[in-house]
Chain A
Amino acid sequence: MSAANPIMEVKNVSKTFDRVVTALDNVSIEVRGNEIVSVVGENGAGKSTLMKILVGVYQPDSGEMYYLGRRVPFPKDPLDALRRGISIVYQERGVIPHLKVYQFLFLGLEEKFTKLGRLQLGKIIGLAKSVFEELGLECDLTSSIYELPPSTQKMVEIARAILSIKLMMVGDGGSEITPIIILDEPTAPLSLEERDELFNYLLNLKKSNSFIFVSHIIPEVMKFSDRIYVLRDGRVVAHHDLSSEKVTEDQLFREIVGRESYYDLWAKYVYGVGEVRERRAILSVRNLAKKGYFENVSFDLHEGECIGLFGPAGCGKSEIAKALYGEISADNGKIIVDGKEAKLKGEPYVRIKMGIGYFSGETGKELFLFWPIKKNLSIVNFEKVTKKPLKIASVISFKAESSLAEKIMKKLRIRAPSVEAECYSLSGGNKQKVSVGKWLEKNPKILVLEDPTIGIDVGAREEIYEVLLEMKRNGTAMILVSDDPKEYTILCDKIISVRNGIVQAVYTNEEFRRLMGL
């Protein structure tokens, strides 16, 4: 098969959710034989939606699909996609830890290897062996998945994806077909060495397969892709063929974020050189540890300062943040909030009383989706909307509740019909603004941020940053955990790098920027 002719092509794909949120707008991409084609973009750019359409999880509103030049309907479910030679390896939750490797490899395909109701184990293991040989994968077939290192787990998943396509397509002369494997952020759970291992494996597999590589990590994408599609706000904004054109990381970065840079925003808020302020330590963490997650974490956080905890997924950064907020309990060490030592046993309501708030961008984690905006805003601010006519009972004042909500809505420019609008009807960005709005009013001493802008568009992002930076200027200290290095450069004064639960180094914002090449 000639490499230039696309195996699979989609044209003018559009998809909206709830008739309001446009996830994809006239997107066209193609996949050629034996290539790694990357789809890059920020969270919320539409990457996942597009991939889910390709594997039949979502149906597009409009668009066309071509396979080997023939027009075909979009797959109606993942099994249908398999028959078209398309499979996906998801970012997480792909493996089933307690299955043996060969069991996992043939999961859902057992019927092809069953004779009179009995599983032909010998045949399965034999086939698995030959598949692994063919794919150049070395591992013990009878070991359990969880015993394998993360990179090998990913490889087994990829092997499974290829295998299922081949088995599904045998009837259609499938051996001629080049399988298309979608890899959704495959490197997220891996360390740097493991990433290289995985990429070498992929380059080897490229001889007989094509990959769609979904990522937002620019250096990786530049290093291993044949072609790159840049998605932004649901549109393809750029397409690069790396064999015929030169693209710099900087250029790609700008195409992804869609504006000159966020640094202007950052510069607007960063402490001026002339401004000398004696800042008080508001949070002191000493030798904090939780077995299996992190150990020996110590740092001081000052008023109006933001410290980022940075590292690969699974490095313990989220757990440290959660331990500070009280969502989980640390085993050892000290957490001192404004001079008072906090109990290690985690209870968010205790920590909130001490002045620690928490804001996550994960939709639905904090919001009560079927509640009106005003209730979502007043839940942490009851003391501001209640009166105490009797000593024992606080009585909610509906008027105070509404006016509080109106004030926040106006300030954050939350676009909704009224304070009575239920939160599920809002767009992602506006939901996030409601989540952050309640803390804006509460004004905690410390705010723990976990992926504060995940999955929202650039405009809404900037608005969230504005709110956070304003709170910071007014003295709220912050802890940031995010997957997006840019976010650290915008919000943080200091960045603590964490690997395997241990603090590696502390960087200033500038050092960090240089290190990340941002």
Chain B
Amino acid sequence: MKGGLGQLKIGSVVVTSAWRLIKANPAVWAIFALIVIFSAIVPEKFLSVSNFVAILKNFAVTSMLAVGPTFVILLGSIDVSYMGVWMFGGALVWLLYPYLGLASIAIYPIFGLLVGLFNGVVHVKARVPSFILTLAVTAVFAFLTTYVRNVSGVLTLTVPAYNFLRESPIPYLPSPFLLALPVIVIALFIMFFTKFGTYFCAIGSNEEGAKLAGVNVEKYKTLAFTLSGLITGLGSIAIFVHLGCQTRVDFDPSELVRGLAAIVLGGTPLAGGMGGPHRTLLGALVYVLIFNGLFLLPGVDPNHLKLYVGTLLLGAVIAASRALRGALIA
């Protein structure tokens, strides 16, 4: 009898903590549901080792595009300069490799940091709306990347010397995923174990209140943009390796949507104030599961995948904003 009660208690603790996790992160539902659905429809394809590896790779790419900007979105601003950092950062690595050797990969985080700092300072001091600003930054760097490729007369900006990074020391865990892990750890640490995460949320949820509580709002806004750039720069290394040690040379808006999709699907509202990188990681997983699952489905034209995913994002944004409004009223 006594043992039974004890078991019941442990059971209820597990249930309540699982429930809390789901309640705090609605994306967990979606992950469960997607796994169950695709396992039921295409079990032999979906539950294969190769698909598992593909999911991890895709997850690494998607999360590396989205985790950095999440910090800015916490503020209630937005940062879409990650495309520019990723593309032109790679071009810089390619350009500087002949001079710096293997060390030139360090250009990525440095370049990211500088772009982020620039975004932050201009946004805060000149009060330029962040979306327009960072979109313009991405446009400029995307153009420059294409320009570098065209002027150099090469087809791709590939640095084969980094090919050794593509080999994973651990079976089944692809190297882009391993390269993404430390970046994820850094982001989560900043969010939960330093005051930065708290301050970003504070600014996003009640800027006036944050100011009154003694937060130097301008400084932390600039810091969030800088951090976003730095993390995107670090994360871009994983994407660089994933693409075969080269960078993207043509601008694709669906890649831009991908980062935002992960953030929104994860449940960080674009209005800021709550959420964080942990949710973005879940959102990235949702995005990747949908993308991979649809790809495996018979009768789905892979060429139309981007359309489906784009439409899905639209739906998610509308649903998320409605749900949020409900929460605010209740």
Contacts and interface: CB of A to CB of B under 8 A. Distances in A.
Interface of A: 325, 327, 347-349, 352-353, 358, 360, 364-371, 375, 378-380, 382, 386, 393-396, 438
Contact of B194 (A349, A365, A393): A393
Q: Give the one of B201, B206, B208, B274 with max A CB within 10 A.
A: B206
A395 B273 contact: no
Contact of B208 (A352, A353, A365, A394): A365
Interface string B198-227: 100110011011111111100000000000
Nearest to B216: A349
B324 to A, nearest CB: 10
A431 to B, nearest CB: 12
Given A370-B205, A395-B193, A379 B198 contact: yes
A366 B211 CA distance: 9
Contacts of B202: 368, 379
B193 A396 contact: yes
B195 interface: yes
Interface residues of B, number: 20
Contact of A380 (B194, B208, B214, B216): B214
B273 A365 contact: no
A193 B205 CA distance: 43
Given A365-B208, A368-B206, A380 B213 contact: yes
Nearest to B205: A368
Contacts of A367: 206, 209
Contact of A379 (B192, B193, B213): B213
Q: Give the one of B201, B209, B213, B215 with max A CB within 10 A.
A: B213
Q: Give the one of A367, A368, A370, A393 with max B CB within 10 A.
A: A368
A368 B209 contact: yes
Given A382-B195, A396-B193, A364 B206 contact: yes
Contacts of A353: 214
A365 B212 contact: yes
Contacts of B215: 349, 379
B198 A395 contact: no
A438 B208 CA distance: 17
Contact of A348 (B205, B206, B212): B212
- In the A-B complex, the 10 residue pairs with the smallest Cβ-Cβ separation, listed nearest first, are A352-B214, A349-B216, A349-B214, A395-B193, A379-B213, A366-B209, A382-B195, A368-B205, A366-B212, A380-B213
A317 to B, nearest CB: 18
13 contacts: A327-B212, A348-B212, A349-B211, A349-B214, A353-B214, A364-B209, A366-B206, A366-B213, A368-B205, A368-B209, A375-B198, A382-B198, A393-B194
Given A364-B206, A370-B205, A348 B194 contact: no
Contact of A371 (B201, B208, B211): B201
A371 B205 contact: yes
Contact of B214 (A348, A368, A375): A348
Contact of A370 (B198, B212, B214, B273): B273
Interface in B168-214: 192-195, 198, 201-202, 205-206, 208-214
Nearest to A438: B213
A379 B206 CA distance: 13
A438 B215 CA distance: 14
A237 to B, nearest CB: 32
A369 B327 CA distance: 12
Contacts of A380: 213-214
Given A365-B208, A366-B212, A367-B206, 12 more contacts: A325-B212, A349-B216, A360-B212, A364-B209, A366-B213, A368-B201, A368-B206, A370-B273, A371-B201, A378-B198, A379-B213, A396-B195
Contacts of B206: 364, 366-369
Nearest to B190: A393
A365 B212 CA distance: 8
A378 to B, nearest CB: 8
A392 to B, nearest CB: 10
Contacts of A364: 206, 209
A366 B212 CA distance: 7
Contacts of B193: 395-396
Contacts of A375: 198
B197 to A, nearest CB: 9
A466 B202 CA distance: 29
A327 B214 CA distance: 10
Contacts of A369: 205-206
A394 B209 CA distance: 23
B216 to A, nearest CB: 4
B235 to A, nearest CB: 20
